[in-house]
Amino acid sequence: MSKSFDEFKLNRQILNAVADAGYEVATPIQEKAIGPVLSGQDLFGVAETGTGKTAAYVLPILMKLKYAQDLAPRALILAPTRELAMQIEEQVRLFAKYTDLRSLVIYGGIGPKVQTEAIARGVDILVATPGRFLDIYLDGKVDTKSLKFLVLDEADKMMDMGFIGSIHRILEVVPRKRQNLLFSATMSDLVQKIAGDFLKFPTYVEAAPQATPASNVSQKLYFVPNFKTKINLLQQLLKNDIDFSRLIIFCKTKTVADNIFSFIERRFGSDAVRVIHANKGQNTRINSINDFREGNIRVLVATDVAARGIDVTDVSHVINFDVPIIIEDYVHRIGRTGRAFAKGDALTFCTDAEKYYIKKIEQLIRQQIPVEPLPEGVFIEETPFDERQAMAREIDAQKRKENPDFKGAFHEKKHVKAQQKKPANTSQSKPKHKNKRFDKPKNK
C-alpha cells in the first residue's frame, strides 16, 4: 500500500499544495526518496520517466528551505533541455504556492538580459540548463556561495548531449558543503562516472529495474518494409480518432518530422497537428507543447530533443515512427504515455535496417516487444531502389560494428575478386553474347 503524503514530515503549506495538485498517494520513487532527502543524505535515484521523480526531490527541498531568504539561490536544479527545465520550474511553483519561496528558470535560445535581471531581484530555487547557467555565472550575474542543494535531473540525457564538461565546471564553482541529488532513468557508464565525482556516500533508490518501461505502457512492434508503408500504417491508425485521441509521434530527424507533419496536415487539417524540433524557435516549441497539453491539437510530431520535456496527462499513444539509434531514448519516448498511474500504448514501426536497434532495446529493457501484424487495409509499398540500397549499407555497417572482420556486401575486395574470376568463366560465351546483342543492329 502506497504512503499518503501526510505520513512524510512535510509542513501544512506543502501538503495543501500537494492536495490542490490532486496527488493522493506517493509513487514508488517518491516513497523511497523523500525520507533520505529530508534527512540530508546525498541520493542517487533511478526511476523510469513519468513516475513523479520531480516531486520526489522538489517536496523535501521546499520543506528544508522553508521560506525566502536573501537574494542568492540556495538550490540549483540542472536539466538537459529547455522544455524539461520549464516543466520542473512549473512543478516547483505548483508545490511552493503557499510559501514565499521564489523560483526561476533560465535556458538558452533567448537573450540573457531578462533572466539576469530576474536573478538580481532574488531567487531561492534556480532551475537551469547547464550551458546557460555557466554563461550567466561567468558573466558574474549569479552568486553560488549560498547553494545548499544541487540536483542533476535526467543525468543520462545530459551525458548523451555532451554536458559532462559543463557539469564538471559547475562542480568547481559551487560550495563543497552541499546536498547532492542525481536522478536518471538509465545507468550508463558516463552516469556512473559523474555520480562518482558528484555524490558523497549516496543513498541509492530505484523505483523499477533499470531502464524498464512503465508497466502500464502496452508496447507493440510493427515490421514494415519501407518509409512509404510506414506512412500508410500511420494513416490507417489515425483514422481511429476515438482510440488515438492524443498522440506523440517521434522521428529520428528533423526532415522526417517535417515530412510527417506536412502529411498529417494535408490529411487531417492544420488544426490537428504541430511539429517541434531543434530548428523551431523557442516560442514556437513552447506554444506547440501548450496547445497539445490543453487539448487544442490531437498530434504532436517531435524529434528526441523534446522526448523529455513533455509532461502531458492522457497521452493515449506514443508512436515511434523511427526506432531510436540511442537505445535509451526508447524508454524516454514511451514514457510520455502511461504517466503516473494512467494506461498508455507505445507503437514502434521497424524496417529491416532498424531490427538491430530493436534487439539492443530489448536487451536494455530485458523484455521482448510483442510483434503485431499490419492492420487490414494497410497498403504495402514496393521499396524503391535507393532506399533498398541505403538499408543494405546500414545493415552492413551494423554487422561490421559487431564484427570488425565482416567485409560486407559492398566490400571492394569482393568486387575485385569477382572481376578477376569473370573473364575465365565467361570467355567462351562472350563472343556468342556479343553476336546476339550487338552485331545484329549492324547488319540491319
326 in the same domain as 281:
yes
Residue where the block lists cell 555565472 = 137
Q: Is residue 381 part of a domain?
A: no
- Per-position DSSP letters for 176-244, written without gaps between them: SS-EEEEEESS--HHHHHHHHHH-SSPEEEESSSTTPPPTTEEEEEEE-SSHHHHHHHHHHHHT-TTTS
Instruction: Give the single-character DSSP code of 43.
Output: E
For residue 26, what pLDDT is reported? 86
155 in the same domain as 108:
yes
pLDDT by 10s per residue, the chain, length 444: 568 888 888 999 999 999 888 787 888 889 999 999 999 999 999 876 667 889 999 999 999 999 999 999 999 999 998 888 998 999 999 999 999 999 999 999 888 999 999 999 999 999 999 999 999 999 999 999 999 999 999 888 888 788 889 999 999 999 989 999 999 877 777 888 888 888 888 999 987 655 566 678 899 999 999 999 999 999 999 999 888 989 999 998 889 999 999 999 999 888 999 998 877 777 788 888 889 988 899 999 998 765 555 677 788 999 999 999 878 788 878 888 877 667 889 999 999 999 999 999 998 888 899 999 999 999 999 999 999 999 999 999 888 888 877 776 655 444 445 555 555 444 444 444 444 444 444 444
Domain that holds residue 31: 5-206
Q: Is residue 259 part of a domain?
A: yes
Q: Is residue 405 part of a domain?
A: no
For residue 159, what pLDDT is reported? 85
d(CA 198, CA 53): 19
Counting Cα atoms < 13 Å in the Cβ hemisphere of 7 gives: 12
Residue 382: phi, psi to the nearest 5? -75, 140
For residue 437, what pLDDT is reported? 42
228 in the same domain as 156:
no
226 in the same domain as 179:
no
Q: What is the CATH number of the domain that holds 48?
A: 3.40.50.300
For residue 209, what pLDDT is reported? 56
- Per-position DSSP letters for 251-276, written without gaps between them: -SSHHHHHHHHHHHHHHH-TTSEEEE
- DSSP-derived pairing of the beta strands 103-106 and 43-46: unpaired
Q: Is residue 431 part of a domain?
A: no
247 in the same domain as 102:
no
302 in the same domain as 157:
no
Q: What is the largest CA-CA distance in the chain?
A: 103
Residue where the block lists cell 556486401 = 409
58 in the same domain as 180:
yes
What is this structure's pTM?
0.61
